[in-house]
A and B are shown apart, each in its own frame.
Chain A
Amino acid sequence: MKTGRRKQRDFLYDDLIDLSTDEIYAIHAEIKNKIAAKVKEHDKIQQERQELVEFNEEVRSILMSPRSPEINDLISRLNIARINRENAEKLRNELDSRVPPSPNDIIESLKQRHKLLWTISNRIQENPTLDEEIELFESYFEYQAMYEVAIQSDEQQKIWTQSINEKNSVMKELRIHDLKDIDNQKINQLKDKYPKKVIGWKGVEESSKQIIELDEWSQSWKIERRSLVMEIMRLESFLSIEGRKAKKENLKIKSGEVLEKAETGESLTLDDLSALISTGDIGKITKNKQNKTGRETKNGNKKSKRRRSKTKRGNTRSKNRTREEDGND
């Protein structure tokens, strides 16, 4: 077994128990600083990405603008390929969501259903019941209909692939022409604006690659950030639990002092009472008092339960009440 793997925790806080509060606060601060630094880096990367996108858009607009008839033809082919690809993709996805299985899978399902409906199995238990037969019949013809849709989806997939191939071949030709017949003034303007960049298809490709790399970084940061935030929450919840425990301990100490005060007959402040209530020691005072006063308090605390001598209307309670009237039998 690999030893390099991170040790799995038995429960949520077992790696924090042995650490002091200060150490945990230090870890907490370290993670927060890391997040802050990465957020700054992320913002910078987003800015960089935006610049690359702008560069691509500007250069592309010049490269794709009308020029010689030959290049115009290539550009219109490229646009058609793009439209075809988008349409095919949209239609294929829609068909796939209606009918997820592939044509081959559908044929396999049809074969299985056909066998069960068409033949008598030697293993008698494999013969379907009437309800199963009806369901198999319904699904058999549903699968037949699904096959037609799946074939349409495959056709769209072919169109999609052809469009990609067409785009690649057109791009190859366009790259050969690159900046041919483009107004020099426009090229110079771009060169001034982006002195470190190559103006042309090569530059666009480089920028696209960089954009992909930056997106990958952002994606991995998103995942890392989630785990760091979770870690912060874990540390905070542990600290909060520890804090509550410490508070309770303090109250216990205080309640001990207050109890002593009460026993000696000193007056208690509101804070003292609060400490007694929080720790549940308030009952101890009464107990002590009871022990001290003994017989005196036996009836002393009881509230008088004497009834008021008021005449009550209604039926008198008779001995002949039914069980239902008694209710609790």
Chain B
Amino acid sequence: MSTCRRDKMHEDYELLLKMTPEEMAVRILDKRRLLSDQISFIKQGLEESVDELQEKHDKILVKYNVSKKNGINPEKTSKIKDEWDSLREELKEMKTQLKAAIRINDESEKAISYWARRVNEGTEELDYDNPDLLRYAKDVRSGKISREGKRSKQRGKGGGKK
């Protein structure tokens, strides 16, 4: 491995291992705010795309059914089918994205207020519904078994690694 690459890897490791909970919470809040500003535009764009694709899809479906029923030109039918398949895939993907955009839009306010509270009040336990975000990390540092360790034990593979 070249020295340059090793240095870059070391930097990455440092970044990952030295990241503090405060830095992370601030970053998530910023990200959420940015998303909140943009999500309505994203959603609108996706809605338009879905409508457009749906229209194309419905048209091609009619075309395919007619061609299939006539059965005159099988080559043409197969070409239309390929087109229909790819459109269907595209439409499916777009609909999934739209669904996700709606979800993000709906919970945006709640997420921003959650992370803003964490930035202002810290990652410790705030109330019954907001437990300490570092409780698992504290458990591991105090010598307790990690959640991964518990899962591994349950699978009957405790200690088997490396």
Contacts and interface: CB of A to CB of B under 8 A. Distances in A.
A143 to B, nearest CB: 8
A140 B133 CA distance: 10
A117 B28 contact: yes
B35 interface: yes
B20 to A, nearest CB: 9
A66 interface: no
A149 B159 contact: no
Interface string B148-162: 110011000111111
Interface residues of B, number: 50
A163 B161 CA distance: 21
Interface in A197-237: none
A130 B111 contact: yes
A144 B104 contact: no
- Give chain A's interface residue range (CB within 8 Å of chain B): 35 or more
Given A98-B144, A100-B152, A120-B35, A141 B137 contact: yes
Contact of B161 (A101, A120, A123): A101
Given A114-B16, A124-B104, A125-B97, 12 more contacts: A96-B162, A97-B149, A97-B152, A99-B149, A114-B19, A124-B42, A124-B46, A125-B96, A134-B133, A142-B139, A142-B147, A145-B136
24 contacts: A96-B159, A97-B158, A97-B159, A98-B145, A98-B149, A99-B140, A100-B149, A102-B161, A107-B13, A111-B12, A114-B16, A117-B28, A118-B31, A124-B97, A124-B100, A124-B104, A127-B104, A138-B136, A139-B147, A141-B133, A141-B137, A142-B140, A144-B137, A145-B141
